[in-house]
Amino acid sequence: MILYIKNIDTRQDCNKPWEHLLERYPALVEPIRESWNDPSSFVRKIYMITPTKTRAEQIPDLTRLAQTLYLIPNLFWIVVEDEPQTTLRLRRLLQSFNLPFIHLNIATPDYLKPTQNQSTWRRPRGVFQKNIGLQWLRTNTNKNEDALVYFADDDNTYHWKLFQEIRKVQSVGVWPVGLVGELLYERPICLNGRVHSWFHYMYRKRKFATDMAGFAIHLRLIHHYSTYVFNVSATSIAEQESQILNTMTTIDQLECLANNATKIYVWHTKTQSTFLTSIEKLRNAGMKYDLLNQL
């Protein structure tokens, strides 16, 4: 067993602890040096679209994601809430992070939401929210801007190196995604930097067998295909990725990143739903709280 504990000299100037930050926490050195000293980090912005919905795990999931984003320069976070109106609790949370962001909203129609006994994967999720994010980009960004667009679920796990790979994209780039499709990973199989085939098990007929977390698109394509929106029909399960990629690129044009698609920098993790005592039982016990107004 190897135990690593860095000794901290408490006699150092405690009035300016940030001056000793990298010395005390050497694990921060590499991401800061590589991300913040890379010239492309400041030339090529990343616009990250994150759909999110009200649930018990929403705030911890977004908090975890924000901790990663602190390491990423020149990123603009487009958070789209699945609600009829933006909620105060989420706005307060996003403001507390002090990250560049825009808070948008649109509610998913009830007929597209999973029923009580239906698995969530049987219904398209985050579709309306991603479309609002695309609409915002087309209205508020310049088509000539050298920037990248990435769709990021709020409960995925992201390595800071993923964002370095995103900045390498010239048109559409792809990479592996871990813990997805009933496999440890799905990935493009690449030869000489181009996609030859796909390693996947679920939904075998997919033309582009990747997860939404497994690609990024140059902003100019979002503007060029200005009428594209994600299909919101209930029959489009597992086809969202293929629809947008088939519209904006071809398999031959895909760029294999993350060391020729051999490194995993994003995982399709899912926060386990927390068992909560029903409002009725709490009311009978003389207890009351409102999830929407809790921070």
Q: Is 154 annotated as a binding residue?
A: no
In angstroms, what CA-CA distances link 25 with 19, 32, 138? Answer: 11, 12, 40
The rounded radius of gyration (Å) of the Cα atoms in the chain is: 21
Structure-token pair, residue 66: 């924000």
- Nearest CA to 52 out of 1, 108, 8 is that of 108
Going by C-beta distance under 8 Å and a sequence separation of 6 or more, which residues neighbour residue 189?
195, 196, 197, 198, 199, 261
- Tell me how far apart the alpha carbons of residues 181 and 240 are, in angstroms, rounded to a whole number: 14
Pairing outcome for strands 147-151 and 45-52: parallel
- Nearest CA to 201 out of 154, 150, 238 is that of 238
Matching residue, tokens 């002090």: 98
Q: Which of 81, 165, 241, 255 is catalytic?
A: 241
Active-site annotation holds for 57:
no
Which H or E run contains 20?
Answer: none
Angle of helix 88-97 relative to helix 58-69, nearest 10 degrees, comes to: 20
Amino acid at 55: R
- Tell me how far apart the alpha carbons of residues 222 and 245 are, in angstroms, rounded to a whole number: 11
- Tell me how far apart the alpha carbons of residues 79 and 69 are, in angstroms, rounded to a whole number: 13
Contact, 34 vs 164, CB < 8 A?
yes
- Nearest CA to 231 out of 136, 124, 101 is that of 124
- How many contiguous H segments (helices) and E segments (strands) does the chain have? 11, 12
Which residues are identified as catalytic? 241
Binding residues for Mn(2+): 155
